[in-house]
Amino acid sequence: MTADAKTGTRKLSRAEWTLLTLLIASIFINYIDRGNLSIAAPLIEKELALSPVQIGALLSSFFWTYALLQLFGVAGWLADRFPVTQVFTAAFLLWSGATIVTGLVNGFRAIYIARLFLGAGESFAYPCYSRIFASEIAPEHRGRANALLDAGSKLGPALGTFIGGMILVRAGWRFFFIALGVGSLLWLIPWLRFVKRPVAWPAGREFERGSVSELFRLRSAWGTFLGHFCGNYFWFFLLTWIPSYLVRERGFTIGTMANIVSLCLATVAAATIVAGWISDRLIMHGMTPGRARKSIVVSGLAMSSIILPAAFVASEASCVIFLMAACVAFGSYTSNHWAITQTLAGPWMAGRWTSIQNGIGSLSGVAAPWLAGVIVQSSGSSKLAFLISAAIALAGALLWGVVVGPVEEVRWRTQLERS
């Protein structure tokens, strides 16, 4: 790193920027591959004569393996136990291969199994990102690194939806999955050339044991766990069900739907960056970090409920406007919620707190599309699904605002015993 004479901090080196760029590209691919089924669902449903419940089950299948492998610590343990770059390479191969297989198989069961493998591969992404950042990126630069990753996770589906819509219209859904999977594998070429040594924890780092039970006794921990679940429910409803809703109930073409969804996702990414900048400015002008971040998280998630009128207005244009407004609000929420968790956990528990929170939050990826499918099949309309998503967003805002206590680092018992 080179030093900045004005601030005394060190700038990221060229090698660190290259590493960060490759990881941002990987999360683009990660979110394109996990979201590809949602935009292809209308065509798959028609060709394979699947019911709305079956489509909902396919959309949620990814999250069974994705959530459970994180929730039970398998992905995190492997990322810690073995050379993390090798673990990430194997995981990337697994999820890219699953994407290709999806375009080759026939029938509900085969696609379901392929999506389970996709979720298994992608469950390693965030544990590996955290391990690499902890080893290779200085603490003063990790905030920016994580912010860029989050923006990439939103722009990935936006770009994938836009390009995917064009491919689906011209070449069909099978070629769409095969092309995405093969294209994803190209990322491995620069990655394998760049990564020539295993990444290891810095010398002297210790792993504290025996405090997970203490974590589960904290009110704020459950506030972040359940609040994250609520926020993710809204996100996964937006990501997995809105494309089908726009085609089936609003009558948009595949191409128009792809343009609308990609614009919505790009809006989330832009709002994330802007809200993150605003929170930092508020802190610089004297507001406490807890108040700045919590106010943006709570207001953003609460205002995401503005998605509800989108299902009831008659005008297609008004529907899109409400969707866009909800995306702006949700983007502001996503800019700061992980910062709250990291502050509460501190260096003693940040990894395990984050892993459990993300595992619980990812279970909403199973619930949101499945429940929407059940509702549509039984009622013929997505209105109740919109109502539930809006109500869960409001509940999440309440959890972050009330159940999560003061945003201050927890004084862990094991830490106190050693001090």
The tens digit of pLDDT for each residue in 329-353 reads 998 898 788 778 777 876 566 667 7
- In the prediction, which pLDDT does 391 show? 96
Instruction: Identify the weakest region by mean pLDDT among 100-109, 256-265, 281-290.
Output: 281-290
Average of per-residue pLDDT across 299-308: 95
3-state secondary structure of 206: coil
Please state, for a pLDDT cut of 90, what percent of the chain lies above it. 28
Range picked from 37-46, 243-252, 389-398 for highest mean pLDDT? 389-398
The answer, yes or no, to whether residue 239 has pLDDT greater than 60, is yes
Q: DSSP assignment, residue 382?
A: S
- In the prediction, which pLDDT does 348 show? 64
Split at pLDDT 50, 70, 90, the class of 205 is very low
The answer, yes or no, to whether residue 232 has pLDDT greater than 70, is yes
Please state, for a pLDDT cut of 70, what percent of the chain lies above it. 86
Pair of tokens at residue 282: 């508020």
The answer, yes or no, to whether residue 414 has pLDDT greater than 60, is no
User: pTM for the full model?
Assistant: 0.74
The answer, yes or no, to whether residue 5 has pLDDT greater than 70, is no
Closest to 175 in 3D by CA, of 186, 187, 185, 166: 166
Class of domain 13-201+211-413: mainly alpha
Closest to 99 in 3D by CA, of 184, 171, 13, 181: 181
Split at pLDDT 50, 70, 90, the class of 202 is very low
Instruction: For the chain, report the end-to-end CA distance as a whole number of angstroms.
Output: 32
Q: Which residue has the higher pLDDT, 131 or 295?
A: 295
Neighbour tally for 86: CB within 10 Å: 12
Cα–Cα distance, 161 to 175 (Å, whole number): 15
Cα–Cα distance, 110 to 50 (Å, whole number): 13
- In the prediction, which pLDDT does 233 show? 94
Instruction: Identify the weakest region by mean pLDDT among 34-38, 76-80, 186-190, 356-360.
Output: 76-80
3-state secondary structure of 3: strand
Sign of CA dihedral 159, 338, 57, 307: negative
For residue 46, what are the contacts with CB-CB under 8 A and spacing of at least 6? none
Q: DSSP assignment, residue 10?
A: E
- In the prediction, which pLDDT does 385 show? 92
Q: DSSP assignment, residue 13?
A: P
- In the prediction, which pLDDT does 9 show? 47
On whether the CB atoms of residues 382 and 394 are closer than 8 A, the answer is no
- In the prediction, which pLDDT does 80 show? 65
**What letter represents residue 92's amino acid?**
F
Cα–Cα distance, 324 to 329 (Å, whole number): 9
Place of tokens 């810690």: 80
The answer, yes or no, to whether residue 285 has pLDDT greater than 60, is yes
What average pLDDT does the structure give for the chain?
A: 82
Range picked from 62-66, 159-163, 246-250, 323-327 for highest mean pLDDT? 323-327
Pair of tokens at residue 383: 């209105």
Instruction: Identify the weakest region by mean pLDDT among 119-123, 201-205, 259-263, 407-411.
Output: 201-205
The answer, yes or no, to whether residue 60 has pLDDT greater than 70, is yes
Average of per-residue pLDDT across 351-371: 82
- In the prediction, which pLDDT does 173 show? 84
Q: CA 389, 394, 397 angle in degrees (round to 5)?
A: 125
Q: DSSP assignment, residue 400?
A: I
Place of tokens 């990812």: 362
Q: DSSP assignment, residue 9?
A: P
- In the prediction, which pLDDT does 149 show? 79
Buried/exposed code over 163-186 (b: 16+ C-beta within 10 A; e: otherwise): bbbebbeeeebbebbbbbbeebee
The answer, yes or no, to whether residue 273 has pLDDT greater than 70, is yes
Each residue's pLDDT tens digit, 83-124: 778 889 999 999 999 999 988 988 888 989 999 999 999 998
Q: 11 φ, ψ to 5°?
A: -85, 155
